[in-house]
A = this chain, B = another copy of it.
Amino acid sequence: MSSYVKIPSNLKPSDPQGSDLLAQERATVTFDVKELTLFLFGKKNLDRYHEILRIVENDPAFDKTNVYFMGRNELFKHAMKKEKRLAQLIKENKWKVEDIQFAEWLLDTPGPFGVHRGMFIPTLISQGTEVQKKEFLVPALKYKILGCYAQTELGHGSNVQGLETTATYISEADEFEIHSPYLTASKWWIGGLGKIANHAVVMAQLKSNGKPYGPHLFVVQIRDMETHQPLPGITIGDIGPKFGFNSTDNGFILFDRVRIPRSNMLSKFSQIKKGTGEYINPPNDKLLYGTMILVRAIIISGVRFALERAVTIAIRYSAIRRQFVDKEEPKKLKDGRVVETIILDYTMQQYRLFPVIAQAYACFFTAKVMIDQYAEYTKQSSVGNYSLLTDLHASSSGLKSLTTTMAVDSIEECRRACGGHGYSSFSGFVKFYQNYLPNTTWEGDNFVLTQQTARHLFKTFRKMVLSKGAEAYPSQSERNQTMAYILQYLNDPNHTCTATTHLDFKNPELQLRAFGHRAAYLIANAVDQIDNHKSTWNSMLVEINRISRAHCQYLLVRNFINALQNSRQSEDEGLHMLRDNPSLKEVMLTICNLFVLHTMEKDLGDFMECGYLTPSQARLLRAQIYNLLKEIRPNAVGLVDAFLIPDFLLQSAIGRYDGKVYETMIDWASKEPLNGITLDVNPDSDVLFRNETDNKTKAKL
């Protein structure tokens, strides 16, 4: 796209140049950045990354140059173009799910086919019979059928049992009647529904012979395959603009007694018998929970990538941006001239940004553990052993809540740490933040979710207290990490922190004990409130949220510490690398310590309230955190470079790998379509744009 404003070509930013500053930063790194990248991705994924980046980066259909200037219609068109081209590439290159995930990550444009691929097809696979797969899945895979997943309603989100759409079996016709009895029954927020889908998997209250059987899934054709118009009895629309995701057609749909064949009820697990309308029960509901755990592991992995992206921009920009001369420690150029201090040298900036690097690594290790645990659970459940399920489900609920909230907060912290320029779309933060935001709400609202975590913890705790002394429960084989910290607490509820110098806070046993003790203390208190003081569940919700947070922080801390400790023995490709690379191991240890201690400091009140930390220990803890910031400082740019977030994804003038911050800001600004318009500024004139028609053409791009 061409510029509307000619920028004088003789001007450069004042010295020192961004590229030189980044080169200096890269020279101080104490470890091999490429090795760390390899550790993070693994050989196979790194090859995949490069291969897919090569393909998508230069494809004109995926050109992102004008995205920041697009209104809703243009943006949606841009997304459709991307979806169509992506569908072709998937076919041409025979991409698998993992390849598509990489491509979607790089393309960074949530589009109308996303739910078709991510929800509609997987639901048909997991819930459909073989006959149903032939009818719906086969054409869906070829994009002959385009589907969406219609669960949430205008009036109901979290409470799936409360959905109002009905599916009533009409035995005479052997059909279901899909109906929206109220306005609030309108399906709402359904990705792909607003404009694209011609089929929907609809979650509706099954009724047969006047009896309710709760929410079930039905395949409903919603638009004509030729005209693409809604079928009779069906009202569809896009739900309008949103904070982000405006490249997707989240839609609504109302059904006015729409009939579908009985065979359209997804029937792998439950069904209605022809004629009699008899309901056949699902064998067990555990399978559903298994999938939820996997989805949450993927979300937590997504947290890692989101944090990496945000902190890459903020760290690089902070290494270039200079502001104020630090009078006590003035920076000088080689020629002796005093220059302003780069903002990354200010401890406040380090305190704001370095913990975000650490959070990204923490999520990396926890996502890894979750995926391993899911694999182990899948193995065990295939032979009928579901014992891992409840703890996994509870922990994954709380972890999804904790980490996605952390991600949103940290992205915004990184953005604000970039000052005024962080507010420009060109920073790369704006669209990114807007699109990331729904993670706090979807797949379980972050506040509602924590109740599932706490409920399980209370049960575990009660069971363990009852069996205390005998230690019958848990037996050695049943014992999991949750029980380990509860047991430790029950054996020594008055345990206190043993630290006497700030160095003691680097001790991983002390760190784990701190998080375990605090979580167990909160659980013990809440159980006491409920069991002995008749507190209602509702009256305990604030405490419940604290407990889930405490438990999941323990898990993040434990998984990080364990990974580093186990690297000595592990067969795991990545951990193996850590063992053989002392400089890498050292920097990881520092990062781990910062994550643990910064997390502790943020909730310092908890650690003191439970009697674990004294006021003077709190001061030692802070001192240790400030030391860690100093240790990390020379590696800051290296650590974010290692994340290997490509410029194609960042789309950031201020976070670019080459450091050309200011040149890019002004170059992109010159392309703003509003710059092609001349105004009539006279307040008494009704004319606003003098050359409006001109602009319409130009703005079309």
Q: Which residues of A contact B (CB under 8 A)?
A: 4-8, 11-14, 68-74, 76-77, 80-81, 83-84, 87-88, 143, 146, 152, 154-159, 162, 164, 180-186, 188-189, 194-196, 198, 228-229, 235-244, 249, 252, 254, 256, 322-324, 326, 328-329, 340, 345-348, 351-352, 416, 419-420, 422-426, 429-430, 437-438, 440-442, 445-447, 536-542, 544-545, 601, 603-611, 615, 618-619, 626, 662-663, 665-666, 668-675, 677-686, 688-690, 695, 699
A419 to B686, CA, bound (A): 42
Closest-by-CB residue of B relative to A87 is: B683
Contacts of A5 in B (CB 8 A): 235-237
B residues in contact with A424, CB < 8 Å: 239-243
Q: Chain B nearest CB: distance from A408 CB in Å?
A: 9
A348 contacts which chain B residues (CB < 8 A)?
447, 541-542, 544-545
Chain B residues with Cβ below 8 Å from A254 are 7-8, 11
Q: Which residue of B lies closest to A146 (CB)?
A: B681
Which residues of chain B have C-beta atoms less than 8 A from A180's C-beta?
A: 11
When C-beta atoms are compared, the residue in chain B nearest to A447 turns out to be B348
* 17 A-B pairs whose Cβ atoms sit less than 8 Å apart in the complex: A5-B235, A14-B164, A69-B240, A84-B683, A154-B666, A155-B322, A156-B323, A194-B674, A196-B679, A238-B675, A240-B668, A241-B430, A348-B545, A420-B438, A605-B605, A608-B608, A610-B615
Known contacts A6-B235, A183-B662, A609-B618; 14 further A-B pairs (Cβ under 8 A): A5-B236, A8-B256, A69-B241, A70-B71, A77-B689, A84-B684, A162-B340, A194-B674, A228-B678, A228-B679, A328-B538, A348-B544, A604-B605, A609-B615
- Complex CA distance for A662 and B187, rounded to whole angstroms: 12
Does B72 lie within 8 Å of A662, measured CB to CB? no
Contact B158 A419 (CB under 8 A): yes
Contact present for A240 and B146 (CB under 8 Å): no
Known A-B contacts A424-B239, A618-B605; the reply to A195 vs B677 at CB < 8 A is yes
Contact A423 B182, beta carbon cutoff 8 Å: no
User: Do B340 and A159 touch across chains, with their CB atoms under 8 A apart?
Assistant: yes
Q: A5-B237, A162-B323, A235-B5 are in contact. Are A183 and B11 (CB under 8 A)?
A: yes
User: In whole angstroms, how far apart are the Cα atoms of A496 and B669 in the complex?
Assistant: 57
Distance to closest chain B CB from A668 (angstroms): 6
**For A244, what are the chain B residues with a Cβ–Cβ distance below 8 Å?**
423
A611 touches B615 (CB 8 A): yes
User: A675–B441 contact, CB under 8 A?
Assistant: no
Q: Which residues of the partner chain B approach A438 to less than 8 Å between Cβ atoms?
A: 420, 423
Q: Do the beta carbons of B238 and A72 come within 8 Å of each other? A: no
**A80 contacts B539, C-beta separation under 8 Å:** no
Asked whether A13 lies within 8 Å of B183 as measured between CB atoms, the reply is yes
B679–A195 CB distance below 8 A = yes
Distance in Å: Cβ of A77 to nearest Cβ of chain B: 5
C-alpha gap A354/B351 in the complex (Å) = 31
Residues on B with C-beta less than 8 A from A681 are 146, 196, 198, 228
Chain B residues with CB below 8 A from A540, complex form: 347
Give which listed residue, B13, B83, B182, B430, contacts A13 with CB less than 8 A.
B182
A238 to B242 Cα, complex, angstroms: 25
**How close is A7's CB to chain B, nearest CB, in angstroms?**
6
